Amino acid sequence: MPVFTFRLDDDIAQRFDAAADSAGGRSALLRRLVMTAVDAEAGGTPGPVRRRERTTRRFEIRLTDAEIAALDAEADALGMKRTDWVTRLVRRRLHSAAPLPLEERAAVAQAWRELNRIGINLNQATRALNASVMVESGLDVAREAARVASFRTEIRIALAGLGAALKGDLAYWDSLDA
Q: Is residue 27 part of a domain?
A: no
Residues 67, 72, 75, 76: is their CA dihedral positive or negative? negative
Same domain membership, residue 68 and residue 90: yes
Shared-domain flag, residues 82 and 117: no
Contact 89, 61 (CB under 8 A): no
Does 1 reside within a domain? no
CA distances to 39, 102, 149 from 84, in Å: 36, 12, 43
Residues 131 and 73 in one domain: no
Are 79 and 141 in a shared domain? no
Give pLDDT tens digits for 120-132.
888 887 777 777 7
How many structural domains does the chain have? 2
Q: Are 20 and 26 in contact (CB under 8 A)?
A: yes
Measured between alpha carbons, how far is 149 from 144 in angstroms, rounded to an integer? 9
Kindly state the DSSP code that residue 8 receives in the 8-state scheme: -
The domain in which residue 81 lies consists of 60-97
Q: For the chain, where are the alpha helices, taking DSSP H only? A: 10-21, 26-41, 65-77, 82-95, 102-132, 141-174
pTM for the model stands at 0.38
Span 142-167, pLDDT tens digits: 777 787 788 788 888 877 777 776 66
Question: Among residues 97, 114, 143, which one ends one of the domains?
Answer: 97
* pLDDT level of residue 34 (50, 70, 90 thresholds): confident
Residues 104 and 168 in one domain: yes
H/E stretch holding 34: helix 26-41
109 and 161 co-located in one domain: yes
pLDDT category at 49 given cuts 50, 70, 90 is very low
What confidence score (pLDDT) does residue 170 get?
A: 65
Final residue of a structural domain among 97, 114, 148? 97
- The residue from 97, 121, 154 where one domain ends is 97
Of 50, 86, 84, the residue nearest 67 (C-alpha): 86
**164 and 138 co-located in one domain:** yes
Task: Write the pLDDT tens digit of every residue in 51-110.
Answer: 567 778 888 999 999 999 999 999 888 888 899 889 888 877 777 655 666 777 777 778
Q: In whole numbers, what is the pLDDT of the chain averaged over residues?
A: 77
pLDDT of 173:
63
